[in-house]
Structure 1
């Protein structure tokens, strides 16, 4: 029997999270360092929110995935407001680890691997598109690397169109291996998702499936 009270509480929590996210999105765009960079960085948030709500009744996601998407959105908005090379948190990490550059963009690319890995894994499992945990993990990693490579193509295209003005969006900070390290951090994020969060996601998928079957 589906737990209607729990579902109602979950819907209220997601509604509050969405409202908070929209408020933070507006706040991040009030006085960004560079408006064009902000718009490019937060575009995934603007696109994802309507899709998530439009699909909520037909295909609700696990709570784990909603939390991951929320956290990823915060990373994107903070990076958009300051530009990745100027985020204060990145400078603190740079000082702590004695790095040569602000590493905040690597946090962004880590989440670019972690969250899409959870999205891909959930869709593949619930749609019964892949058999076997090893093949599932392989396909998820491939999807994440494809997304990461596509994003690097987008950055390349922006650089060609905008010329020198694309530096804030690229955030390379003079690193000739920035593209490769970006994809590597996405890979680390994907592996982290698979190793640390697969059991929890499996349990939450099972509960969602049971509720849908009971309903």
Structure 2
């Protein structure tokens, strides 16, 4: 990261995530499930840190990436079906714990940094970078559901059920993938609005000059 401001943003977010990680690691509902859930989060954090040395992420991209990291790490502590989330469930009038749906939505936000990297590296034009970001998230969403199924089948018992977190919904995997996709579309819409605003501001500055 070449920008001191963005580096500071990354460091602050990393510090906050470290606090969430430590909170999650203390007496989780299931240590086995916690380990299985935390491995991908730590791996993604490592990728973010590595890519950050190659490309300067915007503050928006950094915040979007850390949202999922924090939500996923909290879910690892309680198991996603048992996270204290009643206030949200009451707001939407659902008896189901929808924390996992929100976490899946936040996965979709990664479409923004994916597209941003492609644009900044001039690998693809914005429209194709956005499409790649969308399809990448959809692919990852499908792959994760398959991995989740495999782990649940191998672990079996309460541990497998806790990791799967379907809460008795036969369409859980499909709904999770829809949430991932919706998150990606929202993230890319935000990028589109931001880029349009930046273009407008640039044009206004030029015309005034």
Matches within 5 A, 1:132-143: 133=127, 135-143=128-136
Q: Distance in 1 between matches of 2:107 and 2:65?
A: 10
1:21 to 6, 17, 26: 17
> Which residue of structure 2 aligns with residue 125 of structure 1?
119
Alpha-carbon shift at residue 8 of structure 1 (Å): 2.7
- Change beyond 3 A, Cα 1:58–1:25: same
1:39: Cα distance to partner? Answer: 1.9
- State the partner residue of 2:81: 85
Aligned to 1:183: 177
Which structure exhibits the higher relative contact order, with contacts defined as CA atoms closer than 8 Å and separated by 6 or more residues? 1
Change in CA separation of 1:20 and 1:173 when aligned onto 2, cut-off 3 Å: same
Q: State which drifts further: 18-27 or 47-56.
A: 47-56
Unaligned stretches of 5+ residues in structure 2: 199-209
Q: How far 1:157 sits from its partner (Å)?
A: 1.1
Deviation at 1:43, TM superposition (A): 2.1
**Matched-pair contact (CA < 8 Å) for 1:62–1:201:** no
Q: TM-score, normalised by structure 2?
A: 0.84
TM-score, length-scaled by structure 1 = 0.82
Measured in 1, the distance between the counterparts of 2:9 and 2:130 equals 30
- In the TM superposition, what are the counterparts of 1:104-183 in structure 2 within 5 Å? 104-115=99-110, 117-131=111-125, 133=127, 135-164=128-157, 165-183=159-177
Length, aligned pairs only:
196
CA distance in 1: counterparts of 2:93 and 2:54, whole angstroms: 48
1:63 aligns with 2:59: yes
Residue 204 (structure 2) aligns with: none
CA distance in 1, matches of 2:39, 2:47: 13
Partners of 1:48 and 1:80 lie apart in 2 by 15
Q: Which moved more, 1:73-82 or 1:135-144?
A: 135-144
RMSD: 2.2
Alignment of 1:37-52 (within 5 A): 37-52=33-48
Match of 1:95 among 71, 90, 96: 90
Secondary structure of the structure 1 residue equivalent to 2:52: coil
Are 1:193 and 2:165 an aligned pair?
no
List alignment gaps of at least 5 residues for structure 1. Answer: 205-215
